[in-house]
Amino acid sequence: MTMEQATHMRLSGHADPFPLAPAAHQQLLRYLDGARGTLSGDPDGDEILRDLEAAIGDELGRLGTVADRPASAAQMAEVLAEVGPVATSRPVPSSTTPARGRFWCRIIEGKWFGGICLGVAARGDFRVDWVRTVVLLLALFTGGLLGFVYLILLLALPSVPTVEEYRRLRDAPRSVG
């Protein structure tokens, strides 16, 4: 009778690799891939994954797995049940709440005259120097009419502190209510 070869896997926080039966190895990989997917939007996701690996390693060490007696699929199921399912503390955007999308605004940081050109550039993903040039040329050719529209926009458009904040707001889920 042939014995399946154990796979050795290193886990964060542990110097020595753990011997795992092939089925146990596959269980662990599925668990870690699922955890990685769940934590993909979490800024602390990598740290949480390292902590999970360390906790799994601690449980495997408690079982006393050694090279001639690798962890079985049943033992791995017990360890993963002990560690528990992975959940994120951050709300995961639902597919039913689409992103806010592009919107008109003034951007304060880097503004020249109110930040409207910077807001137009951010909304359209244009270079701000091109937008400013076009606005200047249009102001000259319209005999000041664009200046009047510019003043109205200056009063009507909401202001956003930075371009980065605009992008964050644009990509954030739309608030319901």
Average pLDDT over residues 137-155: 88
At 7-38, the pLDDT tens digits run 888 888 888 888 888 888 898 889 888 888 88
Query: Would you say 41 and 48 are in contact if contact means Cβ atoms under 8 Å apart?
Result: no
3-state secondary structure of 66: strand
pTM across the whole model:
0.48
Per-residue pLDDT reduced to its tens digit, 94-104: 555 677 788 88
φ, ψ at 176 (rounded to 5°): -100, 130
Q: Looking at the predicted structure, is the pLDDT value of residue 4 above 70? A: no
Encoding tokens for residue 119? 């807001």
The letter for the amino acid at 89 is: S
For residue 1, is pLDDT > 50? no
**Residue type present at position 51:** D
